[in-house]
Structure 1
């Protein structure tokens, strides 16, 4: 009698998850499979029938411009991720350990305020702040710190990093805060009772227990940052293209969808490998700490 009951529960579970699974398959998997299929086809701009080819991936692997843009994208994404997580952790730590419980919701509410406006508007605001006659230059000139407006704070990698770090800061703060909230405070008290300093207690207890939130923050920031298109275009002025800008040029401006698809697939593969390596190193770190 138990087996038919289990079969009914299994069928009920499958009927429950089938609609969202099919929806995710249609919305996510089919576009990715389409891009993957396009990446193995010839350009076909003047051809009616496209043919199977590996030339797109050969071009991606050997072209120096693609290599330069890809390396730049990875470096910028890594810098943004490091800057965002390193600045987000103290904020999350302060809210979790020093803010009174009845005020934590207010702090989290304030952190989400940037989400009230469009991402594009926030990027344009940073352009106004960092511009030649922007807030920074006007303030420094008014205080007499500089005689002429600075020209190196916009349309460069530094401005892109600042803008992206600000845009993705809430995405890093929230998962770290959740991980810190789950830490049993009695463990920290036990560490101090055993003679450990606050710094060593943080290193040996708090940080390892908070690592799941840190890992989530790193992945949440790194993955979309490397594919960001708006910020390099607006803040970089189109002078410092990243891989997303190159994909946009191939897909839309040049109408070379196979090559654009090959660039997209290669980028996704590189990001997947880096993410897996990071997760592996994090597990090794936690195993050593334990």
Structure 2
């Protein structure tokens, strides 16, 4: 007991005592439910009875069924489009507030950005359902000015409606981290770049954008991760063409009464999202390193963009053709494992560059 008491009186022991209530709280609320979901995914359900016999049949079915694969790919595709659109629109707003708004007015602008949070997320989705409806303001306005003769059918009850609604809902989450990153930039660095003869555009590409990249990456993570598993928006405005993996998880658990399969889809969704993010961040580091090796600026960005497009096209073809050439479930696992191994290799071989990634 004396050794325990001595250890608890040490600096490490005092620190452990200080964080232990929070650690236990986090384990009970986060780790325990996650472990329960993972265990449930290896069981089976016979009507109302959960059979606690270890099996990998749920994972085999989830990886081989074309429906589950299509829903997962659609979820990643919709979330990627939402992330790209949200960050692309959020950056100019954050840039304007940081560089062109007076310091005493910035808090007012940030306050206005958070106004959508005053209403329920569900109400905002319903409002977009009204706005995009066949007889809603968008279609009525376009028909009134003579731009269209009949209501647009592609803006509601499909993936486009989901992208529009989610992009609006998560816009503040993207603006704020980018703004914080831009605020941390030392303005003297921009003045030095201009004094050395760089144009405004090149100063932005060589100085501002690299220093703001950690905020952009944070915005990507904040938007991408929750939108992959969004349930409400696809249910209300997505229709059959906008159904995502979260809707199938709900259907498996509550409609089909197959909780182990719902847990399996949830675990696979978490793993695939983690692998996709690992791949994306590692490839972004590689592409930015390639841009710097090509001299930076417009030329470097063009080289990096060409390499990114070539790799994305090749990877898409590999994932489309790979499972057909191999066993479907095993093919997907092998391809994901290879992509993850390549990502880890990039992290080990390429250090974090001036872009902060």
TM-score range, shorter chain: over 0.9
Deviations 1:27-61 (A, max 9, x none): 01111111000000112326564311000000111
Structure 2 match to 1:105: 107
Deviations 1:140-160 (A, max 9, x none): 222233333222221111111
The 1-side partners of 2:124 and 2:50 are apart by 43
Contact 1:44/1:50, CA 8 A, preserved across alignment: no
Unaligned runs of 5+ in 2: 1-5, 293-353
Structure 2 match to 1:248: 250
Q: 1:258 to 1:48 in 2, by over 3 A?
A: closer
How far the C-alpha of 1:12 sits from its partner, in A, is 2.0
The 1-side partners of 2:220 and 2:214 are apart by 10
Q: Quick check: 236-245 or 246-255, which moved more?
A: 236-245
The 1-side partners of 2:49 and 2:17 are apart by 45
Structure 2 match to 1:206: 208
Structure 1 match to 2:68: 66
Deviations 1:93-150 (A, max 9, x none): 1100011100000000000001111111000000000001111112122223333322
Q: 1:285 to 1:192 in 2, by over 3 A?
A: farther
Two-structure CA RMSD over aligned residues (Å): 1.8
The 2-side partners of 1:226 and 1:19 are apart by 32
Please give the TM-score of this superposition, normalised by the length of structure 1.
Answer: 0.94
1:26 maps onto 2:28 in alignment: yes
The 1-side partners of 2:251 and 2:7 are apart by 57
Structure 2 match to 1:260: 262
Alignment length (residue pairs): 287
Unaligned runs of 5+ in 1: none
Q: Secondary structure at the match of 2:143?
A: helix
Q: 1:34 to 1:209 in 2, by over 3 A?
A: same
The 1-side partners of 2:23 and 2:95 are apart by 37
Q: Secondary structure at the match of 2:238?
A: coil
The 2-side partners of 1:147 and 1:226 are apart by 35
- Give matches, 1:220-231, under 5 Å: 220-231=222-233
Please give the TM-score of this superposition, normalised by the length of structure 2.
Answer: 0.77
